[in-house]
Amino acid sequence: MASTLPTCHKGQRTVGPRQGLPRIPPRLARMAELSRDDVAHLAGLARIDLSDAELDKMVGELGVILESVATVQQSPIEGVEPMSHPMPLVNVTRPDVVRPSLGAEAALAGAPEADQQRFSVPRILDED
């Protein structure tokens, strides 16, 4: 009998023992403590040069970030519609209606100088 449970990219079940709650796929499961070598490897992949003090600091900071992500991933999301924003967005626009506008002569009437139906202004850049 074929299983109807959702699977992750390696074919493993992604539904945990609590009915209906998603289980964290193995690749996103809570990691063991990050080592200094792990952080140095990540920094190398990102092409970031970190000093020894920065590596030591990042071990703790990345550990906190990974724990926070794991906590959020355990949230019960069954039946929650995906959204791009927490509040509904309404685009306030007016209809695009063609209507008469200024002609070239009227628009250029107050210009100090005009040339070929364009505003004429002094050159400020030299051509080199």
pLDDT score recorded for residue 45:
96
- List the one residue out of 30, 27, 25 whose CA is nearest residue 12: 25
pLDDT score recorded for residue 31:
55
pLDDT score recorded for residue 23:
53
Give the whole-angstrom CA distance, residue 114 versus residue 64: 64
Domain boundaries, given as residue ranges, for the chain: 48-73
| pLDDT mean by block of 10 residues, the chain; 128 residues | 44 45 48 83 94 92 90 88 85 90 90 90 80
pLDDT score recorded for residue 7:
45
Q: Does residue 20 contact residue 33 with C-beta atoms inside 8 Å?
A: no
Helix axes 36-45, 52-73, angle to 10 degrees: 90
pLDDT score recorded for residue 48:
95
